[in-house]
Chains A and B, each alone.
Chain A
Amino acid sequence: MSATLKAETRPTSLAEAGRRLSASETGSVTELGVAAATWVVSLALVDPRAMSDLGLVSVLPWTAWAAMALLALSFARSLARTSSPGWLLTTYPVTLSALVFLTPVIVYGTPRYSWTWKHAGIVDYIDRTGAVDPHIDVLSVYHSWPGFFAANAMLTDLAGFDTSLRYAAWAEPLLNLLALTAVLAILHSLTTDTRTVAIGGWLFVLGNWVGQGYFSPQGMNYVWYLMVLAILLRWFPGPARVSTWAPSPSDPSASRRMGLCAVLLLLLVSIASTHQLTPVVTVLVLGALALSRQTGLRSLPFFMAAVVTGWVLYVAAPFTRTALREALGQVGEVTSNVQDTLIGYGTASDGQILVSMVTRAFTVGFCLMAGAGMLVAWRSRQRMVAALVLALVPLLLVGSSTYGNEIVFRAYLFAMPGLAFFAAVLLWPPGSAARQLHAAVVGVVSVFLMAGSGVAQFGNDRQYYFTPEEVAAAEFVYDNAPPHTLLIEGSRNYPAQFRNYDHFTYVPIAREDPADIDEILEEPVRTMRRWMSDDDTYRASYLIITRSQVAATTARGEVPGDGLLGVEEALRASPAFRVAFENRDATVFELAAQRDVSP
């Protein structure tokens, strides 16, 4: 009798449990689907050509903002429900990351950022020559840390592609998703509260506006850096890791420890051999974790330092010999390193000044949230030393170098996992009960952060986006010019150097001294004619001016007024020049008297 009863009742109760589970989660999943679909459909209505100097946010329809608001609201609702499982909460930051970083792929159709195209040029060089040249004049640093480019050259060749640009745009959603996954693992090692973890991941996506997760060595190295930290903090905690928020220390088996150590060493060697900055911050953070006894693998920073030193002094010696003195001269110059990073308000356009101010306010606000979160942790008597190391040690980079005028952004990028954790602690201290008021605060703060993040992330996209017409003009030059060609560019900001890049000597007008720029603007025909007539040095000479060059130089005030358009107009009217190629977004000039050359 009882067996019969069991047989009859068990399926019913299981089915009921399943129905209950579905009922509490179906609403959230539906909301996620509606928000995602609305976002994607809204993007189909966007005309990227219509962007103002506020970037992509200037052309987003209201439905796109509504989709993001719905996502934030749905996240808050899920946080408020006591029954929301961890997987559902984690799905929100994953969805947010996918939507944000798929946006350029959906809207633009061409890879954004001129550096994506330059990186494709190094891949092309290795694919063509099967070698690197550390003594090359242009982008020589990549020839001393060529791993990322060599791997892509191999991948491009094997896949049967003619260029890595065929898949480069997809690197942005992929690398950012990988980074988020690693950050979630780091957060899981700092707290067992799934809500704090999900909010931390959510804030990481919103706060990560720096835009380094693209087809670049930095994008790949950031993922490896985060993976190293995730493994270290999760499986190799040190004796000083004392916090009731953190999970109890795991004791992996010998084989598992060996496997994890092998993975760590592989990732560290990859970091050391493919990037210049990430190894430095990795040594600093690993050293601080070891010193503060937050990890049991205390020899790891020494291993990493040895590999980095070996690479810098031996493999990258040709580059290091010339660049080391300049780099050392910038150590300790904190103020000038910061100033070199930030845009000058005296010359930039009104829209770009607004974007810059919103970005600065957003970044300062995010850091203040993290600072307040540190106070919450301190008042809760939690010694979150590992998280403090993650948040604060990368900031030491600011005193080390200008790193191509980007050091503040990079320091912020590397500090993001720690900052996101403490900001999440502020919004949802680990162990807090699911309360509607708490969740509502997260929702409201998220809406403000989404607006700020949108401006910071996509506010420069009028110049970061390249039209197919610009690409066609660049292809004309890079496919047809012979080796030893002079290429004068309005600025470096266009789809540049992606093919046969070593065939050219590059002279971007925007990089000239202000006095020389004034001379060009006053007498464009005479100056350009003089520059392009050097037949002894160059086999051919071209001048290329594109839409994104004009947008960039105008936005940053690099060339006064619409200077590049003035140059274009003057050359068009001069019989000394001939239009070699043109379309609605780009013009390529050559001297009318230029001899006929073939590649």
Chain B
Amino acid sequence: MSSPPPPATVRAAVAVGSALLAVGAVLGDVGPPGQPVLVLWFVLVCPGLAFVGLARPTSVLFGLALSVAISCALAVLVAQTLLYAGAWNPLGGLLVLAAITVVGCVTELVVEARVRHPAVTARREAA
């Protein structure tokens, strides 16, 4: 419960990999058990996993729970936006969530790099 969460690169790999697999499963209409497992895992966990590092949770358990909470919130906002925009499209929603996941992973990796190597980052920005 008190060990640090996995590093950003691992989280990013898991999140982006899961996004690709989930989109692939839906586009390929893989069916059960693969499609439900991949979709549920990705939608309920991965978008939050991409952002949770920015909050730096204090334990793996809380980090996972926060990932699910953030993922559910993002799924709600994306689905609700599609609904009210009159553009209901579940696959479109999945692609938006996948895009959000990639953005989250890139943001976290950039922030992580700046925190670990502030001098290098400052030199690059100056150049």
A residues adjacent to B (C-beta < 8 A) = 86-87, 90-91, 94, 126, 130-132, 146-148, 150-151, 153-155, 157-161, 166-167, 174, 177-178, 181-182, 184-185, 188, 220, 223-224, 227, 230-231, 234, 252-253, 255-256, 258-260, 262-263, 266-267, 269-270, 273-274, 315
The CA-CA distance from A160 to B58 in the complex, in Å, is 36
Whether A255 pairs with B65 at a CB distance below 8 angstroms is no
Q: List 5 A-B contacts (CB under 8 A).
A: A86-B1, A87-B1, A130-B88, A158-B93, A256-B55
CB distance from A503 to the nearest CB of B (A): 20
Whether A178 pairs with B1 at a CB distance below 8 angstroms is no
State which residues 37-84 of B face A: CB under 8 Å: 39-40, 43-44, 51, 53-56, 58, 61-62, 64-66, 68-70, 72-80, 82-84
CB distance from A252 to the nearest CB of B (A): 7
Whether B93 pairs with A154 at a CB distance below 8 angstroms is yes
CB distance from B34 to the nearest CB of A (A): 10
Closest to A220 in B: B72
* Given A153-B90, A159-B35, A273-B80: A223 touches B69 (CB 8 Å cut-off): yes
The CA-CA distance from A64 to B25 in the complex, in Å, is 41
Closest to B62 in A: A185
The 8 residue pairs across chains A and B that have the minimum distance between CB atoms:
A259-B54, A130-B88, A150-B79, A181-B65, A87-B1, A157-B90, A270-B73, A147-B76
The CA-CA distance from A266 to B69 in the complex, in Å, is 10
Whether A159 pairs with B39 at a CB distance below 8 angstroms is yes
Whether A266 pairs with B54 at a CB distance below 8 angstroms is no
Whether A146 pairs with B29 at a CB distance below 8 angstroms is no
Instruction: List residues of chain B with CB within 8 A of the CB of A154.
Output: 43, 75, 78-79, 82, 90, 93-94
Most buried by A among B32, B55, B115: B55
Interface secondary structure of A, over-half rule? helix
Whether B40 pairs with A167 at a CB distance below 8 angstroms is yes
CB distance from A87 to the nearest CB of B (A): 4
The CA-CA distance from A37 to B26 in the complex, in Å, is 37
* Given A158-B91, A160-B36, A256-B55: A132 touches B73 (CB 8 Å cut-off): no
Which listed residue, B32, B65, B69, B111, touches A160 by the CB 8 Å rule?
B32
Which listed residue, A91, A153, A259, A269, touches B77 by the CB 8 Å rule?
A269
* Given A158-B26, A158-B91, A263-B66: A131 touches B86 (CB 8 Å cut-off): yes
Instruction: List residues of chain B with CB within 8 A of the CB of A131.
Output: 83, 86, 88
Whether A255 pairs with B115 at a CB distance below 8 angstroms is yes
Whether B75 pairs with A155 at a CB distance below 8 angstroms is yes
CB distance from B58 to the nearest CB of A (A): 8
Closest to B40 in A: A159
Closest to B75 in A: A151
Most buried by A among B2, B35, B54, B91: B54
Whether A270 pairs with B26 at a CB distance below 8 angstroms is no
* Given A87-B2, A266-B74: A150 touches B80 (CB 8 Å cut-off): yes
CB distance from B68 to the nearest CB of A (A): 6
* B6 at the A interface (CB under 8 A): no
Closest to B32 in A: A160
Whether B54 pairs with A184 at a CB distance below 8 angstroms is no
The CA-CA distance from A116 to B68 in the complex, in Å, is 21
Most buried by A among B56, B61, B73, B84: B73
Most buried by B among A150, A220, A227, A270: A150
Whether A266 pairs with B73 at a CB distance below 8 angstroms is yes
Instruction: List residues of chain B with CB within 8 A of the CB of A159.
Output: 35-36, 39-40
Whether B79 pairs with A259 at a CB distance below 8 angstroms is no
* B31 at the A interface (CB under 8 A): yes
Whether B83 pairs with A146 at a CB distance below 8 angstroms is yes
Instruction: List residues of chain B with CB within 8 A of the CB of A263.
Output: 51, 54-55, 66, 70
Instruction: List residues of chain B with CB within 8 A of the CB of A177.
Output: 65
